[in-house]
Amino acid sequence: AREYGANPWPAAAVAVALPFAGFTLYFDASMWIAGLIATVWTAWFWWAARRVLNGRLNPFIGFIFGYLLITNGNPYGALSAVIVLMGLALEALLHRQFRALWKLVLMGGLVGCTALVAYLPLLLTAEVGWRTAKGIVNDGDLAINSLMLMGTSTSTMLPDLFVWRVYGSSVPVAYSAWFLLPILPWLNWSASRTKARQMAGLWWVLGVYLVLALGPSQIWMFRWPVRLLEYVWLASFVIVAVVWSQGVRTDAWKLRAAGSVVIAFAGALIAFLMAHDVAERHLVGLIVQVALIGVMIVFALKAERLLPGLFIAGTLATLVLQIIWMPYSTDGTLWQFRLPSSAAAAADYRGRVQGPLLQVAQIDVTATQVREEAGGWLLFGSMPGAFGVESTTSYTGLGFDVFAGALCISYAGATCPEAFNVAFGALPDAGGARFVDATKMNTVLVENRLVPGVAQFEPPPGWRLAETNEWVAVFVRDSPLPWPDSRLSVADGVSVAAASSSDTSEILRVSTGSSGGSLTFARLAWPGYTATVNGEETPIITNSAGLLRVDLPAELSDAVVSIEFTAPGYGVAVPVLLMAILAAAAQGLVVARGAKPRRAAADD
């Protein structure tokens, strides 16, 4: 806001309010940290890029902020970088800053080069992976509408969002700030016309994000339009701070006051229509907001300098009420198992379940009213890992097609009943080894209601039924795994003298007979793996379970087999990144050297 000419206190008032906007507070800050970081770096990159455009910051600093934004890995950060740069380019064209524009274009292009290291591996693995949907989808999931935006200054509005199988949000996700809409009638919009070209980038960013936020539920990899609200608020708050800094208008003050009050009542009405079961909460929220608006009107007429303090105090007071009424989001918990949340529960789970874990369970099978008790055993999403247990059936944003198909596994780690038969079934292209052995599982946890009669199942040799209860049957390995220092799981026709591994490599010494043999590893065969036998490259094979397999020739004697993984595309992306860094440093050096004579001339 200060970069666009806002005064310090108006800028401070909106800066305090922005982190407590509904989506930021209840979703990104608690669930999607990468999205929160992308929003933060967007603000910094926008500030830096505009200063670069106006010659007040070395472009290498702008490149650093752009690098941090892009390589965060959140695609919304990459999108915001493009939209912000386009807005700044518009400002440059309107001001006929053609030379400065080329400087910005060069810096932006170098920032774009850093995207390869973050996103090229994703694109190169897309052919073997899956995501929940592709293309343009308009199913209404986490999609906002104009009515929600009309009530954005109402702190108690629980919008009619379709949130992961549940209609209606438990938190004010579309809330921005109590003052954002009520202050609009008091702003000196006519005076802001003199800054129309200066603010063109702001209006561009706001307009683009409004269109996208009100658009389809998904466009390519960008889904759930509610995620774009943060960027709408970022641009909106800066615009308000800049225009507010031109002074408030007090002519026709009764009409302006009426407008502010009507906005508050309209927001409360919208909130009531969306969630009438908390009418008392809406009433209290309305009373508090109208009281704040009343003080705002008095200050606008008598003591304008006190408005920023009022806005900050009102933001904090509203936040206190929201925390009392809605301390956390329960959106989506109907498809979760009311997960345990204490350290003691985590330690208890860790003591009962040894990873790697294969869980055969469905999210919707166990009744909601007993999920809290079942949650001591049945964990979905990333919770097993959070509790310290490695789980094969856990959350994934990008699954491996063949492996997911074998277990019919969902993004949240849920499976179908047939996954139980697959787990203890043989893999013909892994030497007849069972799936649980080929993947080096230690525990198989099965939901009773998903697989009726599972407690009567007779496990194969090497496994035993360790426990049964109302919710699950737990099968554990009772004989040690071979090659404990390696991900090697099956050696068919191969004698293995030594095997060791790291996160990205395997080294083995092997011998084969007259028919050759094969090695199967408990690794998904993602693109990026290479294999050599005595230094000569050999093909990587994906077996029927999605596991990595290497076929070996006959008559090997003490041969060295090496498996290496490098993220696909890094052979191109890393050199491009290094060249971009060097080019950005060179641009920064050239600009810095050119600035010295100008400063000297100015001093003279």
Mean pLDDT of 376-402: 86
The single-letter DSSP state of residue 215 is S
Give the C-alpha separation, 58 to 368, whole Å.
57
Domains of the chain with bracketed CATH: 2-325 (no CATH), 336-477 (no CATH), 488-565 (2.60.40)
Give tens-digit pLDDT for 243-277. 999 999 999 999 999 999 999 999 999 999 999 99
| Alpha carbon distance 108, 86 (integer Å) | 10
> Are 443 and 474 a contacting pair, CB within 8 Å?
yes
The predicted pLDDT at position 352 comes to: 86
Q: pLDDT tens digits, residue range 184-232? A: 999 999 888 888 889 999 999 999 999 999 988 888 888 889 999 999 9
How far is residue 398 CA from its own chain's centroid? Answer: 12
CA-to-CA separations, 64 to 55, 69, 89, 161, in angstroms, rounded: 16, 9, 19, 37
Does residue 307 register a pLDDT over 60?
yes
CA angle 477-479-482, nearest 5°? 105
Question: Cα angle at 257 between 252 and 259, to 5 degrees?
Answer: 100
Question: Which segments of 77-223 are extended strands (E)?
Answer: 129-130, 136-137, 162-163, 166-167, 218-219, 222-223
Query: Cα separation of 159 and 144, whole Å?
Result: 8
CA 457 to chain centroid, in Å, comes to: 40
Q: What is the pLDDT of residue 236?
A: 97
Residue type, 222: F
Q: DSSP code of 486?
A: S
Residues in the chain: 604
Mean pLDDT of 566-583: 96
Please state, in angstroms and rounded to a whole number, the distance separating the CA atoms of residues 244 and 248.
6
**Overall average pLDDT of the 559-578 stretch:** 95
Question: Picking from 48-52, 159-163, 547-551, which range would have the lowest pLDDT averaged per residue?
Answer: 159-163
- Tokens of residue 257, six digits: 């006051």
Tokens, residue 2: 């200060």
Q: Render pLDDT for 120-173 as a digit per residue (tens, 0 to 9).
A: 998 899 889 887 556 787 877 888 999 999 999 999 999 988 887 678 888 999
* Pairing mode of beta strands 357-360, 443-447: parallel
Report the distance separating Cα 486 and Cα 581, nearest Å: 37
pLDDT at 334: 47
User: Quick check: 304 and 247 in contact, CB under 8 A?
Assistant: yes
Entry pTM: 0.88
- 353: helix, coil or strand? coil
Q: What are the pLDDT digits (tens) for 4-43?
A: 989 999 999 999 999 999 999 999 988 889 999 999 999 9
Q: List the structure tokens of 316.
A: 């904090």
- Is the pLDDT at 343 greater than 80? The verdict is no
Location of structure tokens 């860790």? 350
